[in-house]
Amino acid sequence: MKCLVTGAAGFIGSHLTDLLLRDGHEVIALDDLSTGREANLAQARKNKAFYWIQADISDLSAYQKIPVVDWMFHVAGRADLVPSIEKPDEYFKVNVSGTYLALEYARRVGIKRFIYTASSTCYGIAEMVPTPENYPCVPRHPYGLTKYMGEQMVMHWAQVYKLPALSLRLFNVYGPRSRTTGAYGAVFGVFLKQKLAGKPFTVVGDGRQTRDFTYVTDIAEAFLAAAKSDISAEVLNVGSGGTYSINRLVELLGGEKVFLPKRPGEPDSTFADISKIRAALKWVPKVSFDQGVANMLSVIEDWQEAPLWDEASISEATKNWFKYLK
């Protein structure tokens, strides 16, 4: 198939690009390199079935540069919670307007499959774990809200225009190539740099909160399985099948801890009910948490250039979080 991957130079997009090429497809990789990195596509570039377009998905003229494709994987978007509170405009432009333009492009070319990258943050603080897809969505911050608005548009296009589309709600994705610079964000990047620097891990709360950490190659396989299926207009959770505490992560990484105040608006546990995707796509997660953490430790040098966070800089970076999400 001829595939378009938006956000292909990013963490998830680049792993998906590698998998599609391995599976024998042509990939048109689109990215504006605002947060993605060309180095993530070094392996993919060697493949004759790889094409590169540098463009911004929220710019209408970008779509004139894209040929007609069969499958579209819409992975591009603004990530991270903290900057979404500070600059909601960027998140609406890229995650909402950008998704609208992507959907209209898909409709115009008569796409065969459209797969959207949604987020488990749409659930906000779910009382029910494992959380099924029909659990009410109450996003707690602009990042979660804009990803959820994108998903609602995708479902609407599927319903009204019969766009053959699925939305995948991803739970705490981790793995090699996860972003190492910029805003204070996902716990893995923060901890790996702290380990490299011989500094203590900054554990939020008592560290007993748990996350459904899902390994990036399992995520890429879920996208491929979603494209190959003929189910449409559905939302599917993608999780690891388990949930793991921050204290367990520290144990596996090995090192000292310091404790930070618990944050408002953060769930004590995220845990996907994955019975729907198991049944619908015959997809199962393959990489265990212990294995995934070991893989991350084997590429820890990649975090050499990452910012080193400590109690003081985290407290400064999360000021607006405490101000607005309480």
Interaction residues for ligand UDP, span 265-304 (CB under 6 A):
266, 270
Across the chain, the runs of DSSP E, i.e. the strands, are 2-6, 26-31, 50-54, 71-74, 113-119, 165-170, 173-174, 201-204, 210-211, 214-215, 234-238, 244-245, 257-260
Q: How far is the CB of 144 from ligand UDP (least distance, A)?
A: 9
* Helix or strand (DSSP H, E) at 104: helix 98-109
Q: Does 238 bind ligand UDP (CB under 6 A)?
A: no
Q: Is 116 a catalytic residue?
A: no
Q: Is 172 in the site for ligand UDP (CB under 6 A)?
A: yes
End-to-end CA distance of the chain: 47
Q: Which of 91, 116, 123, 143 is catalytic?
A: 143
Q: Identify which of residues 99 and 202 has a Cβ nearer to ligand UDP in the complex.
A: 202
Tell me which of 165, 173, 246, 287 binds ligand UDP, using CB under 6 A: 246
Q: Which CB, 109 or 204, lies closer to ligand UDP?
A: 204
CB of 285 to ligand UDP, least distance (A): 17
| SS percent in the chain: helix, strand, coil, step 5 | 45, 15, 40
- Only one residue has tokens 């500070």, namely 86
Count of beta carbons in the 10 Å neighbourhood of residue 213: 25
Per CB under 6 A, 211 contacts ligand UDP: yes
* The dihedral sign for the CA sequence 266, 57, 111, 75: negative
Interaction between residue 192 and ligand UDP (CB under 6 A): no
Which of 1, 196, 204, 253 is in the footprint of ligand UDP by CB under 6 A? 204
Tell me which residues touch ligand UDP (CB under 6 A): 172, 186-187, 190, 202-204, 209, 211, 246, 266, 270
